[in-house]
């Protein structure tokens, strides 16, 4: 385990040895809860609906009915951004009602040279819109932000020094040059990422009991909340005549890769879904005992999932779903899963196998998924409507990953 011991300060068993992975049996994506086998594309929507509600009930939580879906307003348009390469807009989207709504700040770049509506990548960012670009005129994130060496934040308040600190994850000029737009928002606008962050966020605003509210076991967690914000950003992008609203790819890294998958699974308007190193609770199979586990994630990040998910911390085999079925919920739309070789915590092989097991649903729906159960070589993109690569290196969203995503998007959105 070596280096990985550093990641496991808690007394939670963790395995990172492939030969020590015990046998496991996955629930079947194409068998309904009542035992009925799904054998035709016509039968899939019923199984799909069943899986969505199982993931809501047992994993991510149910998003309350009646939340507002309100158009945003353009705060600023710059036609000369990035040295004239981009048209940049800042848009505010109210996520809650009332005079002081929770606001999602959407930052949108479109290629200035575009002559028709552009396909666009949409992804939440970790540290604020001001960290994805070195431009100096993006307002700093307003609320709580994580303390991080990379951003230089030590008091949970964004500062000028953190501008551009996550720019390596967002190669904006390259994306634009390839004819795509990029839209991003800070996930903390919807809910700050700590246990209790919901009180100032959208979950608090929507909860009948305010900050004293008691959630039911099936109620939404933070990942569901962030995924809701992605859907509201999609509403907004679909209002923009310069964006091709039928070609919006949702993408996320790590916890935000989990979020992108759940957003893309729920909201079928997303044309393509990309989960970069999404790991446990994302693409990685929960039943495969390798890297982060259900127990560990529920211990470190209790706010990400719903209350009922905690019931499975010590008995993951009782979960009525596993994560290949989350991937399958994207079908027949294209989905891309990516791993990094050193990111053992996210279980690269478990991420691949999840795409492989989801592939039977793609085949049923007339698409090809991953080519087979064998783990691919480094730096090779495999698969048709389910794409996958593993690159050398550590846990991060990098320019190398983006090149694979641009190629995959060229194939499916062009
Ligand atoms: C880790 C967590 C992972 C992953 C990661 C991240 O600490 O255990 O599930 O989400 O954070 O989001 O960077």
Which of 344, 345, 347 has most ligand 1 atoms within 8 Å of its beta carbon, as the pocket-test mutant? Answer: 345
Q: Rounded to an integer, what distance in angstroms lies between the CA atom of residue 105 and that of residue 218?
A: 29
Q: Determine what percent of the chain is predicted with pLDDT higher than 70.
A: 98
Q: Whose CA is nearest to atom 10 of ligand 1?
A: 255
Instruction: Please work out whether the CB of residue 263 comes within 6 Å of at least one atom of ligand 1.
Output: no
Reply yes or no on whether the pLDDT at 204 is more than 70: yes
pLDDT band with cut points at 50, 70 and 90 for residue 5: very low
Instruction: Please work out whether the CB of residue 297 comes within 6 Å of at least one atom of ligand 1.
Output: yes
Average pLDDT of the residues in 137-165: 98
What is the model's pLDDT at position 318? 98
Average pLDDT of the residues in 377-402: 98
Of 213, 300, 313, 395, which residue is the catalytic one?
395
Q: Measured in angstroms, how far is the CA atom of residue 397 from the centroid of ligand 1?
A: 13
Domains of the chain (ranges; CATH) run 32-413 (3.40.50.1820)
What is the model's pLDDT at position 210? 84
Mean pLDDT taken over the chain: 97
Q: Measured in angstroms, how far is the CA atom of residue 255 from the centroid of ligand 1?
A: 6
Which of 292, 294, 323, 350 has most ligand 1 atoms within 8 Å of its beta carbon, as the pocket-test mutant? Answer: 292
Q: Measured in angstroms, how far is the CA atom of residue 292 from the centroid of ligand 1?
A: 9
Instruction: Please work out whether the CB of residue 279 comes within 6 Å of at least one atom of ligand 1.
Output: yes
Q: Of 335, 332, 346, 325, whose CA–CA distance to 394 is shortest?
A: 346
Of 254, 339, 354, 381, which residue is the catalytic one?
254
Per the confidence metrics, is the pTM higher than 0.75?
A: yes
Reply yes or no on whether the pLDDT at 4 is more than 80: no
Instruction: Please work out whether the CB of residue 319 comes within 6 Å of at least one atom of ligand 1.
Output: no
Reply yes or no on whether the pLDDT at 193 is more than 60: yes
pLDDT band with cut points at 50, 70 and 90 for residue 154: very high
Instruction: Please work out whether the CB of residue 396 comes within 6 Å of at least one atom of ligand 1.
Output: no
Q: Measured in angstroms, how far is the CA atom of residue 261 from the centroid of ligand 1?
A: 15
Q: Ligand 1: which atom is nearest the Cα of residue 292?
A: 8
Q: Specify whether 254 is catalytic.
A: yes
Q: Ligand 1: which atom is nearest the Cα of residue 279?
A: 9
Instruction: Please work out whether the CB of residue 252 comes within 6 Å of at least one atom of ligand 1.
Output: no
Over the stretch 355-372, which tens digit does the pLDDT of each residue have?
Answer: 999 999 999 999 999 999
What is the model's pLDDT at position 9? 54
Task: Encode burial over 68-84: b for 16+ CB neighbours within 10 A, e otherwise.
Answer: eeeebeeeeeeeebbee
Find the largest Cα–Cα distance for the chain: 59
What is the model's pLDDT at position 240? 98
Q: Whose CA is nearest to atom 13 of ligand 1?
A: 254
Reply yes or no on whether the pLDDT at 3 is more than 60: no
Average pLDDT of the residues in 262-287: 99
Q: Measured in angstroms, how far is the CA atom of residue 181 from the centroid of ligand 1?
A: 27
Q: Specify whether 395 is catalytic.
A: yes
Reply yes or no on whether the pLDDT at 313 is more than 90: yes
Over the stretch 319-350, which tens digit does the pLDDT of each residue have?
Answer: 999 999 999 999 999 999 999 999 999 999 99
Instruction: Please work out whether the CB of residue 201 comes within 6 Å of at least one atom of ligand 1.
Output: no
Identify whether the C-beta of residue 221 lies closer than 8 Å to the C-beta of residue 60: yes
Identify whether the C-beta of residue 340 lies closer than 8 Å to the C-beta of residue 395: yes
What is the model's pLDDT at position 11? 80
């Amino acid at each position: 385990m070596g280096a990985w011991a550093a990641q496991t300060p808690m007394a939670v068993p963790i395995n990172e040895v492939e030969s020590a992975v015990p046998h496991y049996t996955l629930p079947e994506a194409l068998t309904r809860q009542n035992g009925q086998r799904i054998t035709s594309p016509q039968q899939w929507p019923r199984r799909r609906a069943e899986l969505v509600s199982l993931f809501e009930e047992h994993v991510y939580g149910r998003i309350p009915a009646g939340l507002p879906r309100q158009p945003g307003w353009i705060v600023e348009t710059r036609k000369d951004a990035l040295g004239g390469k981009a048209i940049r807009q800042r848009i505010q989207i109210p996520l809650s009602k009332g005079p002081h709504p929770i606001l999602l700040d959407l930052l949108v770049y479109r290629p200035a040279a575009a002559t028709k509506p552009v396909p666009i990548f949409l992804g939440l960012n970790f540290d604020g819109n001001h960290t994805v670009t070195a431009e100096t005129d993006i307002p700093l994130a307003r609320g709580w932000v994580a303390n991080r060496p990379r951003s230089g934040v030590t008091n949970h308040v964004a500062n000028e020094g953190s501008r551009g600190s996550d720019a390596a994850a967002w190669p904006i000029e390259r994306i634009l040059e390839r004819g795509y737009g990029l839209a991003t928002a800070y996930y903390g606008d919807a809910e700050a990422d700590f246990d209790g962050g919901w009180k100032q966020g959208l979950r608090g605003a929507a909860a009948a009991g305010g900050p004293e509210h008691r959630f039911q076991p099936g109620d939404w967690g933070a990942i569901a909340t962030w995924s809701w914000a992605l859907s509201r950003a999609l509403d907004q992008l679909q209002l923009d005549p310069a964006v091709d609203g039928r070609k919006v790819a949702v993408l996320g890294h790590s916890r935000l890769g989990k979020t992108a998958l759940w957003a893309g699974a729920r909201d079928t308007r997303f044309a393509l879904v990309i989960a970069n190193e999404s790991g446990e609770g994302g693409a990685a199979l929960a039943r495969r005992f390798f890297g982060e586990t259900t127990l560990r994630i529920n211990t470190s990040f209790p706010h990400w999932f719903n209350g009922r998910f905690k019931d499975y911390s010590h008995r993951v085999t009782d979960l009525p779903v596993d994560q290949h079925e989350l991937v399958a919920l994207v079908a027949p739309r294209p989905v891309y899963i990516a791993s990094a070789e050193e990111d053992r915590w996210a279980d690269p092989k478990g991420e691949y196998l999840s795409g492989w097991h989801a592939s039977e649903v793609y085949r049923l729906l007339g698409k090809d998924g991953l080519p087979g159960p064998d783990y691919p070589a480094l730096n090779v993109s495999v698969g048709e409507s389910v794409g996958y690569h593993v690159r050398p290196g550590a846990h991060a969203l990098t320019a190398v990953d983006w090149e694979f995503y641009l190629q995959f998007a060229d194939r499916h959105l062009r």
